[in-house]
Amino acid sequence: MHFILGKTCSSGINRTSSTFSTFLVTGIPGLEAVHIWISIPFCAVFLVILVGNVTIMTIIWKEHALQVPLYRFLVMLAASDLGLSLFTFPTMLRIFWLDARELTLSACFTQMFFIHTMQDFESVIILAMAFDHYVAISHPLHYSSILTRTVIARMGLAIVGRAMMPKCPFLSS
């Protein structure tokens, strides 16, 4: 991939072409000697995130009394939180444990794509939860007929489509 940098000067436009193959990720600057110790709280937090979100998802899917729209959105929210953690944590461990600071261009763009997609996914799920609450408050007697399983499934597909659409790369020749 080439990045074209343009500068306007008195004689016109000067263009310089550069190719970046890797990025240097620093971790926490100045604390390189204690990166192993810094990784312990990160591992603990990741373990809590992993156990907590999997527990939430398992309980909601196994308990039939929790098969209502609010809890289905909560499962989607837990899945997006888990996905965000799974896409960022391996890179942090590579930096802290292996001192592997170089990140290729494709790996950087892939990680950025998934981080931003998961954040958008989370944002849209919170919007859907707000809509769920609005329907529950405004139309309590019609709540179960408005938010059916089919409507929730369609909202889930719309959430995934909305979260991925703006970041899909446009191919040009």
Answer whether residue 173 is part of any domain. no
* CA atoms within 13 Å, Cβ hemisphere of 157: 5
Handedness of CA 98, 100, 103, 108 (dihedral sign): positive
**By C-alpha distance, which of 142, 58, 116, 85 is closest to 124?**
116
Structural domain harbouring 147: 2-166
H/E stretch holding 114 reads helix 105-138
Total domains in the fold of the chain: 1
Answer whether residue 171 is part of any domain. no
Which CATH number fits the domain that encloses residue 100? 1.20.1070.10
pLDDT in tens, 69-87: 888 889 989 999 999 999 8
According to the model, what pLDDT value does residue 118 have?
A: 87
**Tokens for 40?**
């312990």
Q: What is the mean pLDDT of each run of 10 residues along the chain (173 residues)?
A: 38 61 76 82 92 94 85 90 89 83 82 86 90 90 87 86 70 48
Whether 43 contacts 50, CB under 8 Å: no
Q: What is the pTM of this model?
A: 0.73
Distance CA 20, CA 109 (A): 12
Q: List the beta bridge partners of residue 103.
A: 23
According to the model, what pLDDT value does residue 1 have?
A: 33
According to the model, what pLDDT value does residue 166 have?
A: 66
Answer whether residue 78 is part of any domain. yes
Answer whether residue 119 is part of any domain. yes
The pairing of strands 22-24 and 102-104 is: antiparallel
Distance CA 51, CA 131 (A): 28
- CA distances in angstroms from 112 to 49, 84, 91, 109, listed in the order given: 20, 11, 12, 5
